[in-house]
A = this chain, B = another copy of it.
Amino acid sequence: MDSAPPSTRRQRRGSGGITLGDVARLAGVSPITASRALNTPAQVSPETLARVHEAVARTGYVPNRLAGGLASARSRLVAAVVPTIAGPVFMEMVQSLTSALADAGYQLMLGQSGYADSREDALLEAIIGRRPDGIVLTGIMHSAEGRRRLLASGIPVVETWDLTPTPIDMLVGFSHTQAAAAVVQHLHARGRRRLALLSGDDERALRRNRGFVDEALRLGLIAEPAELPVHLVPAPTTLGSGRAGLARLLQLAPATDAVFCSSDLLALGVLTEAAARGIEVPGRLAVVGFGDLAFAGDTHPALSTVRIDGTAIGQRAARCIVDRAEGRPVEQKVLDLGFQVIQRASS
């Protein structure tokens, strides 16, 4: 009862590794029992459990999750797409996402879309091909093609860092428009009247800029949108572009008394350039960043900024996906985590 005649046997030696079958044989049980011992131990008698565990220990068996995923249609893989990991902005989210998923037994696959949408399609295909149990998007998916593919894939999707009335599936974010408006109000309350914008050219930053201009109009700080000095720099933003940006802005509008930067790094650049030029902050110039990165409280002067809780975004996104994967109802499909204007010395 061992093998057919070797002459007619197809050849296909496995990868050579230990399989669940080997473990089962060593433990003297059937493969499915070994599987249950590892996955649903409650269904197995204590002695059997012990024997299987011993066999695992002796062999150094590591389950093949590719095979498991194929058989169970659950890969325990979650994909995250970020514009770039070179910027520190999304790191906090990715970090907490990785941890939260690891705690639940899921692994993170990372994809970079670049700020341009060119490679997004290939990336989406690569991701969907792995049949992840969930996809976390940074920002919202705009291309109709992309939305359709995601929808068609049937994979749970969480869009993050943004709000939209028409999410693909789930959403964890905050309102960029409101955040910018809150900054205008803050600066206005601090007596600033000649505001300016220094901003990356990515979509979310541009949306904040619109919110900023609108609120400035509403408060009567400007009479028409074009009055507000704006300087755009290419994303991802850097300290260097912050320095150059302030220089340019002061050329455009020397009387500027407050700058709202689209990232803390940009704001740090502004602080640096101001220091280098002997411009007093906040005396002559107020500076507000965005993101509340770890360093924001330790700059000189300490940087006012808008706090976005990347950790919370990552955790909630992980929760959404894990809940869905485990068949639990998702508490909230759309979640506005808000933001917080943090006033420090720079304004």
A116 contacts the other chain (Cβ, under 8 Å)?
no
Partner of A300, one of B16, B17, B99, B276: B276
**Cα distance A88–B125 when bound, in Å?**
29
A95 and B86 within 8 A (CB): yes
A269 contacts the other chain (Cβ, under 8 Å)?
yes
Size category, A interface: 35 or more
**Cα distance A125–B60 when bound, in Å?**
10
A92 contacts the other chain (Cβ, under 8 Å)?
yes
Shortest Cβ distance from A106 into chain B, in angstroms? Answer: 9
**Cα distance A98–B111 when bound, in Å?**
7
Closest residue of B by beta carbon distance from A297: B240
B111 and A149 within 8 A (CB): no
Given contacts A65-B130, A95-B86, whether A239 and B299 have CB atoms under 8 Å apart is: yes
Shortest Cβ distance from A309 into chain B, in angstroms? Answer: 14
A243 contacts the other chain (Cβ, under 8 Å)?
yes
Closest residue of B by beta carbon distance from A16: B154
Closest residue of B by beta carbon distance from A123: B102
Query: By CB atoms of chain B within 10 A, which of A17, A130, A149, A297 has the most?
Result: A130
Chain B residues lying within 8 Å of A294, measured Cβ to Cβ, are 86, 238-240
Given contacts A85-B95, A95-B84, whether A269 and B243 have CB atoms under 8 Å apart is: no
B98 and A110 within 8 A (CB): yes
**Cα distance A85–B122 when bound, in Å?**
25
